[in-house]
């Protein structure tokens, strides 16, 4: 009895891809196999080239292959492989602002608001984080009694909700949530310290970061970067979630904002922006005497001329500015020391309308640093800290996030979400006047789930 030969591994894989429709590549390979597959051996007394007469069974092969092609296309559309492939290429942004009571999800490629969720942000701004694949959205809101919710963006349903107490209630400052690469360790800022949440086990660890009351601003899968007043710390994360500080550095200024590269090879910290104001020229007359001379009422008999004291007390603008350094520190732990630069002469700060705090973040690929302050936006070289591109905005910008694929900067200008490309100085309004902006804005971006 002749033994039947088992199909090869390649044939089984192609058949599985065609049956399940899991990817576009598998569908194309299956169709190629259907149309250009091996021809079965001819029967006796049939020609080897061309097609047999109409009575031969091989005459039905084009019809069978056309039917298989149509069936594969219908199966792929039904299982969602083609539509899923097109949806993954999009980018979703999640935007909320302090006391807006709303979290909005926006498709920045189709410029439409997908859904909106209510949040509790009366006493503090909402913390947002999203996994790198876009399948889980983490939201922290509430007052003294806080809550952490894990939401499936595809359905808008809450998959996990955890109540805790004492989240940090601040409208400005460092981020409330920091998700490290690997989508496991999530740091939550509370009044008692930084707490660690395990996304694999969906639970808080009982311990906080020992001896640390600052903020975790980034890191890698095994190293977390934190800042506290003038100190920068690097923590080693154990598989059990235990943290140990193995390196630290004290800077000569108080840290306002900080960020780190995705591989934790460099940490960047910036001081608060100095106040820049004009200094009037000194005069002989005192301001009080000048004020009294200026308040005199003129009568019909009095001449319409100013007193000499008032004329001398009129302030004239002086181009000199009273300013301090706007310092940015670049710390490479392998190198040891930190490199300090003054951002005032590099950023043309005189042309910028001020805002409460600057925003500093690194791109997902670690090639650029984005700096946002008031009406100015800059990209810096992460190695030399030179300004590569600058753009002065028409209004104040709130919030900052990098798109995961094409390197655009997302921010809210006025009440509309905008995408900025600093390389060609372009600003594109995605959802004009569609964002409810009341206070400080928080933005995160991720691929469409």
Q: Whats the size of the chain, residue-wise?
A: 449
User: Helix 24-35 to helix 9-20 angle, to the nearest 10 degrees?
Assistant: 120
Q: What is the CATH number of domain 87-274+321-447?
A: 2.130.10.10
User: Is 447 in contact with 93 (CB distance < 8 Å)?
Assistant: no
Backbone angles phi, psi at 347, to 5 degrees: -110, 0
User: Helix 61-79 to helix 9-20 angle, to the nearest 10 degrees?
Assistant: 60
**Mean pLDDT, residues 414-440 taken together:** 81
C-alpha triplet 113, 119, 120: angle, nearest 5°: 155
Q: In this predicted model, what pLDDT tens digit does every residue of 255-286 receive, in sequence order?
A: 999 999 999 999 999 998 887 654 444 444 44
Selection from 261, 283, 280, 258 nearest residue 271 by Cα = 258
| 430 DSSP assignment | E
User: Is 77 in contact with 83 (CB distance < 8 Å)?
Assistant: yes
| 202 DSSP assignment | T
User: Helix 61-79 to helix 24-35 angle, to the nearest 10 degrees?
Assistant: 170
Mean pLDDT for the chain overall: 77
Give the span between the Cα atoms of 338 and 327, in whole angstroms: 12
% pLDDT > 70, the chain: 70
pLDDT-derived band at 22, boundaries 50, 70, 90: very low
pLDDT-derived band at 334, boundaries 50, 70, 90: confident
Give the span between the Cα atoms of 185 and 220, in whole angstroms: 10
* pTM for the whole structure: 0.71
Per-residue H/E/C for 267-307: EEEECCCCCCEECCCCCCCCHHHHHHHHCCCCCCCCCCCCC
User: Is 212 in contact with 175 (CB distance < 8 Å)?
Assistant: no
Distance (Å) of CA 361 to CA 252, 398, 444: 21, 13, 12
| Token digits of residue 331 | 């710390």
51-72 in b/e form (b: 16+ CB < 10 A) is eeeeeeeeeeeeeeeeebeeeb
**pLDDT at position 57:** 47
| Token digits of residue 38 | 């091996």
Range with the poorest average pLDDT among 43-57, 95-109, 170-184, 392-406 = 43-57
- Reading across the β-sheet that carries 193-198, which strands appear in turn? 177-179, 185-190, 193-198, 203-208
User: Is 196 in contact with 209 (CB distance < 8 Å)?
Assistant: yes
Evaluate if residue 296 carries a pLDDT over 50.
no
Domain ranges of the chain: 87-274+321-447
Evaluate if residue 290 carries a pLDDT over 60.
no
Sign of CA dihedral 330, 331, 332, 338: positive
């Amino acid at each position: 009895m002749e033994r039947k030969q088992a199909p090869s591994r390649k044939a089984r894989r192609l058949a599985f891809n065609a049956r399940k429709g899991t990817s576009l590549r598998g569908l194309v390979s299956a169709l190629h196999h259907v149309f250009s597959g091996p021809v079965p051996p001819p029967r006796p007394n049939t020609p080897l080239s061309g097609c047999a007469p109409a009575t031969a069974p091989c005459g039905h092969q084009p019809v069978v292959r056309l039917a298989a092609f149509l069936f594969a296309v219908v199966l792929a559309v039904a299982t969602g492989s083609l539509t899923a492939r097109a949806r993954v290429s999009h980018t979703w942004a999640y935007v909320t602002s302090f006391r807006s009571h709303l979290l909005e999800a926006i498709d920045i490629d189709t410029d439409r608001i997908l859904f909106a969720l209510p949040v509790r942000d009366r006493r503090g701004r909402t913390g947002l984080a999203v996994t790198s694949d876009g399948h889980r959205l983490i939201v922290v809101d509430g007052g003294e009694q806080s809550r952490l919710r894990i939401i499936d963006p595809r359905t808008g349903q809450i998959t996990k909700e955890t109540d805790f107490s004492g989240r940090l209630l601040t409208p400005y400052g460092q981020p409330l949530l920091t998700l490290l690469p690997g989508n496991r360790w999530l740091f939550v800022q509370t009044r008692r310290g930084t707490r660690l949440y395990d996304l694999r086990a969906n639970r808080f660890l009982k311990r906080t970061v020992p001896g640390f009351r600052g903020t975790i601003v980034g890191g890698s899968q095994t190293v977390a970067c934190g800042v506290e007043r003038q100190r920068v710390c690097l923590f080693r994360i154990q598989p059990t979630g235990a943290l140990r500080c193995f390196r630290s550095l004290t800077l000569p200024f108080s840290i306002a904002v900080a960020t780190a590269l995705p591989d934790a090879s460099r940490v960047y910290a910036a001081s608060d922006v100095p106040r820049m104001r004009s200094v009037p020229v000194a005069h002989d007359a005192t301001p009080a005497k000048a004020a009294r001379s200026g308040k005199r009422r003129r009568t019909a008999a009095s001449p319409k001329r100013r007193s000499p004291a008032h004329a001398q007390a009129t302030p004239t603008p002086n181009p000199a500015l009273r300013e301090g350094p706007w310092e940015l520190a670049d710390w490479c732990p392998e190198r040891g020391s930190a490199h300090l630069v003054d951002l005032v002469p590099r950023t043309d700060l005189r042309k910028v309308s001020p805002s409460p705090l600057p925003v500093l973040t690194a791109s997902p690929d670690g090639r650029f640093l984005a700096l946002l302050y008031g009406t100015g936006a800059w990209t810096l070289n992460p190695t030399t800290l030179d300004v590569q591109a600058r753009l002065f905005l028409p209004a104040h910008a709130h919030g900052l996030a990098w798109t995961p694929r094409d390197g655009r900067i997302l921010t809210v200008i006025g009440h509309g979400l905008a995408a900025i490309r600093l390389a060609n100085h372009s600003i594109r309004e995605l959802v004009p006047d569609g964002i409810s902006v009341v206070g400080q804005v928080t933005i995160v971006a991720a691929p469409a789930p």
